[in-house]
Amino acid sequence: MPFTVGIMACVLVYVWLIEPYVPRSAVLIPAAVVVILTASHNFRHGDWGFSWPALAPGLWRAVVVTFAALLVIIGAGAAVGTLHDRRDFLGSLAPLVLWGGAQQWVLQTVVLREAQRATSRAKGIVIAAVLFGAIHSPNPLLVLVTGAAALVWCWLYDRHPNIIPLALSHGLGTLALRYAFDEAITGRLRIGAAYLRL
């Protein structure tokens, strides 16, 4: 799993060791490294995450599981009393879908596929989900939610390899977390050293 190791190392070194000491715009450097590693992997294996025949079946399945997840998240926020309104739903959703799509592109086309090649189809889904959750540490909410969501996303992608439905699911799920919980619970969706500085 050489590309996965390279991507994980790049992200972890940045969020734990470099990010606290550089301007926010410096994130473009590790982002470029991750894009280069992902594109290099995808050139070798021909999986770019956009199988058009998989779009429609993947989309309706993603809508069903995302709707169920949104009900659970919003319900949990209501139960703990942190459900609140946010301004500009569509303006907030668009960048979250793009950011979610970028994460799904890396997760599905590299991490999932390398894990499956190293083990088996089913074990690869679990390994990819565990790695995706772990990279969101030490934020306990994100580790739990992203690990569980990645199990579903990887399962869906394994059957319907198109990242567009997963990007929408990821963006909507992130927005639901922002509506459902306050920053004390979400840790402002930070990971690595940034989470510890809150």
For the chain, which residues make up each domain, given as ranges?
49-196
Secondary structure letter of residue 157 according to DSSP = H
Report pLDDT for 87. 77
Cα separation, 19 vs 190, whole angstroms: 12
Cα separation, 110 vs 162, whole angstroms: 13
Residue that has been written with the tokens 């977390």 in this structure? 177
Residue that has been written with the tokens 């994100």 in this structure? 142
Cα separation, 152 vs 89, whole angstroms: 25
Let me know: does 140 contact 185? Beta carbons within 8 Å. no
Q: For the chain (length 198 residues), average pLDDT per consecutive 10?
A: 98 96 94 98 96 97 97 96 83 92 98 98 98 98 98 98 98 96 95 93
Cβ neighbors of 49 (< 8 A, separation 6 or more) are: 42, 104, 105, 108, 109, 157, 161, 162, 163
Residue that has been written with the tokens 């929408």 in this structure? 168
Cα separation, 134 vs 144, whole angstroms: 9
Of the candidates 107, 94, 61, the residue with the CA atom closest to the CA atom of residue 175 = 94
Report pLDDT for 44. 96
Cβ neighbors of 81 (< 8 A, separation 6 or more) are: none
pTM (2 d.p.): 0.94
Is the preceding peptide bond at 30 cis, omega within 30 degrees of 0? Answer: no
Cα separation, 191 vs 193, whole angstroms: 7
Residue that has been written with the tokens 């301004």 in this structure? 87
